[in-house]
Amino acid sequence: DAGVIQSPRHEVTEMGQEVTLRCKPISGHNSLFWYRQTMMRGLELLIYFNNNVPIDDSGMPEDRFSAKMPNASFSTLKIQPSEPRDSAVYFCASTTLTGPGNKQFFGPGTRLTVL
Amino acid sequence: GQQLNQSPQSMFIQEGEDVSMNCTSSSIFNTWLWYKQEPGEGPVLLIALYKAGELTSNGRLTAQFGITRKDSFLNISASIPSDVGIYFCADGNQFYFGTGTSLTVIP
């Protein structure tokens, strides 16, 4: 199994540009999470999907952030326009819907730098 | 929102020493999770705890679910260099993660 795949691994962009982060969950997993990790705020949940449907997006910081999951094997997190304070590592994780504590698999992350 | 505080924030220990860290929450949990994150990678689940007072081991790692259900503890025995990383606690739904404990093992 290839695990959770994220692309790109690194992204450097200028303030105001649109950024799209991509995630392919593990095949058969029906729950997908997007997290942001920074030194100041740690690991924060942005949004999660069950069966491709967004369930809770209360962690999305602003309207500049949006996430989609058009099918079970692909999700995107878009930032438009990007700002320097969006610089962070963004993780995607997937799991199956079998209750609390079910093992969640994280991708390697995308390190975003906004200049 | 939920706050999970971990202590200590960082640890520098000699290889072979035992390690103890803990996590406290502002509210009661029904499940506690412990993760390890190595540089450049995503967190990996180490141990899951489902019942107050539960003690669970995974090799040299032992974790306990506090009886108040507001805390949890992780111990690593006989540390080795590959234990280096950041250890996080989390709630069972993986909605909230702790502030992390950074572990450095000196050979």
What percentage of chain B carries pLDDT values higher than 70? 99
B1, pLDDT greater than 80: no
* CB proximity A66 to B under 8 Å: no
CA-wise closest residue to B96 among B42, B10, B26, B20: B26
The mean per-residue pLDDT over the stretch B72-100 comes to: 95
The per-residue pLDDT for B2 is: 72
Which residues from chain A sit within 8 angstroms of residue B95, using beta carbons? 45, 56
The per-residue pLDDT for A115 is: 97
The tens digit of pLDDT for each residue in B14-48 reads 999 999 999 999 999 999 999 999 999 999 999 99
The per-residue pLDDT for A25 is: 97
Letter string b/e over residues A40-56, b meaning 16 or more CB atoms within 10 A of that residue's CB: eebbbbbbbbeebebee
Amino acid (one-letter) located at A17: Q
Average pLDDT, chain B: 94
Of B42, B45, B99, the CB nearest to A42: B99
**Residue B57, burial from CB neighbour count under 10 angstroms (0-12, 13-18, 19+):** exposed
- Which residue's structure tokens are 């030194």? A39
Angle at B37 between CA B28 and CA A71, to 5 degrees: 80
Say if the Cβ atoms of A101 and B31 lie within 8 Å. yes
Residue of A nearest to B91 (CA): A101
Q: Is the Cα torsion angle A20, A114, A49, A3 positive or negative in sign? A: positive
Distance (Å) from the alpha carbon of B98 to chain A's nearest alpha carbon: 8
Tens place of pLDDT per residue across chain A (115 aa): 689 999 999 999 999 999 999 999 999 999 999 999 998 889 999 999 999 999 999 999 889 999 999 999 999 999 999 999 999 999 999 998 755 667 889 999 999 999 9
The per-residue pLDDT for A103 is: 81
Say if the Cβ atoms of B95 and A45 lie within 8 Å. yes
B85, pLDDT greater than 70: yes
